[in-house]
Amino acid sequence: VSEHHDLDHLFDRLFPILRSITGPGYKESLAILGEAMPLTVESVPSGTRVFDWTVPPEWHLTGARLTGPDGQVYADAARSSLEVLNFSTGIDAELELDDLEPHLHSIPALPDAVPYVTSYYRDDWGFCLPDAVRQSMPREGRYHAKIDAEHRPGTLDIGSTVLPGESSAEILLTTYLCHPSLANNELSGPLVMTALHHRLERRRRRFTYRFVVNPETIGSLCYLRLHADELQRNLVTGLVLTCLGGPEPKLSYQRSRRGDSLLDRHVTDLADVRIREFTPLDGSDERQYCSPGFNLPVGQLARTIYGQYDGYHNSRDTKAFMTIDALIDAVNQIDDLLLSLENAARYRNLAPYGEPHLSSRGLYPTKNSPTNRDHSSDGRVDQRRFLDDVLMVLCYSDGMETMADIARRCGCTVRELAPAIDALEEAGLLAFAEEGGGR
């Protein structure tokens, strides 16, 4: 209930802000997110060379309005942050509709929707508006296009925080915050991230968890510029969180480019999700994490995916479509998946030479006798079944096989092996052995 309230409130504060990949709207949004979870901000100066890219200047917009010859206001950034071309240059001109046309953006197929259009890397100005409105604009007379915008040197900003775990092996959770006034794509990712942080903070963590929020693409490239070495060393699995609201009941996992990470291999053993293979043709920041020079084990979790709903990148993408309930359901599913992933990892038998002497540790019947060794009899609470799990876990925990592999050998889930894992850890016979480095 409190989680629902918190997310709802956070949504309402963030939604109206005019964000872009840089500038005051993005900075304000990051500060608000920092109230919900601790975020360290790293800033990269405009003009910094980042791999094949250059960090753009800050975008400062103080107003954007398109007024018709009839005095009517056809677009106004004060009404909705979508109504100005994102990252637009400034303009103050009177011009005919014909000359205005190349600077207008609408969606004929969705006549009531204002599209979300950007122009980061080519100087341009423009307005976005519903196609129905566009069709009604008078052909005669002069329009007044006025955009008060400046591109100034400043910084691109990234927020991040780490929850340390028992192992330095790391799970990355990352999302992006640059989109203005869009709900599913993309306030859903940042909101789900705050709730996951809140939960993970409070439970045992075998893995270390790293949370990152940035402007899409150029932001993740900057983060890689600063932290790729650590990620190469420690990362076991990464998840780009995106489009986690909407009506689809199941989450959908897109594998990493390498396709062999712990999660890539076992996700369908651990959760009831749909699967997409990696593609460089669309998607989000996983395209940077998975580029061939990095090739990090970063997948993507989504629900109602970009491009697969009417409201994608336009004004129909609101809280009514996304719903806070859908976000909380996503938080539940991801939390469960991460718990299972901790059980599914590699462990190491600490007494691997011969079988450990189980009876001296209370883990073995002290008399041999013609007992029933049929595993299928009494369910998993059965004492023999527990012993079998102990023997299987010890035998195959060589630091190579994952516990999910062992569970497959046992014909059970990793959660069902948890009692044996816990008992062996307590007895000092087993240790978590994930070390990161990409598998």
Residues that bind a copy of itself (CB under 8 A): 50-54, 105, 107, 115, 117-119, 121-122, 124, 217, 221, 224, 228, 257, 280-282, 287-288, 290-295, 307, 312-314, 349, 351-357, 359-360, 366-370, 373, 388, 391-392, 394-398
Three-state DSSP state, 92? strand
Return the number of the residue (105 or 197) whose C-beta is nearest a copy of itself.
Answer: 105
CB of 9 to a copy of itself, least distance (A): 30
Return the number of the residue (188 or 397) whose C-beta is nearest a copy of itself.
Answer: 397
The crossing angle, in degrees rounded to 10, of helices 188-200 and 24-36 is 30
Contact (Cβ atoms closer than 8 angstroms) between residue 82 and residue 180 = yes
Return the number of the residue (153 or 280) whose C-beta is nearest a copy of itself.
Answer: 280
CB of 167 to a copy of itself, least distance (A): 20
Return the number of the residue (329 or 382) whose C-beta is nearest a copy of itself.
Answer: 382
Return the number of the residue (115 or 297) whose C-beta is nearest a copy of itself.
Answer: 115
What radius of gyration do the chain's Cα atoms show?
A: 26
CB of 271 to a copy of itself, least distance (A): 27
Return the number of the residue (161 or 295) whose C-beta is nearest a copy of itself.
Answer: 295
Three-state DSSP state, 406? helix
Q: How far is CA 116 from the centre of its chain?
A: 21
The three-point CA angle 350-352-356 to 5° equals 85
Q: How far is CA 207 from the centre of its chain?
A: 18
The amino acid at residue 325 is: D
CB of 208 to a copy of itself, least distance (A): 24
Return the number of the residue (122 or 204) whose C-beta is nearest a copy of itself.
Answer: 122
CB of 283 to a copy of itself, least distance (A): 11
> DSSP labels for 284-315?
STHHHHTSTTT---EEEEESS-TTSSTTTTBT
* Distance, CA of 167 to CA of 432 (rounded, Å): 8
CB of 23 to a copy of itself, least distance (A): 18
CB of 395 to a copy of itself, least distance (A): 4
Taking the CA atoms of 346, 339, 394 and 371 in sequence, report the sign of the dihedral they define: negative
- Please, what's the largest Cα pairwise distance for the chain? 101
CB of 121 to a copy of itself, least distance (A): 5
User: In what helix (H) or strand (E) does residue 235 lie, and over which residues does it extend?
Assistant: strand 235-241
CB of 382 to a copy of itself, least distance (A): 13
Return the number of the residue (370 or 379) whose C-beta is nearest a copy of itself.
Answer: 370
CB of 76 to a copy of itself, least distance (A): 21
Return the number of the residue (157 or 216) whose C-beta is nearest a copy of itself.
Answer: 216
* Distance, CA of 330 to CA of 243 (rounded, Å): 10
* Distance, CA of 81 to CA of 35 (rounded, Å): 23
- Is residue 2 packed enough to be buried (19+ CB in 10 Å), middle (13-18) or exposed (0-12)? exposed
Return the number of the residue (249 or 379) whose C-beta is nearest a copy of itself.
Answer: 379
* Distance, CA of 12 to CA of 264 (rounded, Å): 35
* Distance, CA of 381 to CA of 352 (rounded, Å): 26
Nearest residue to 95 (alpha-carbon basis) of 134, 146, 142, 148: 142
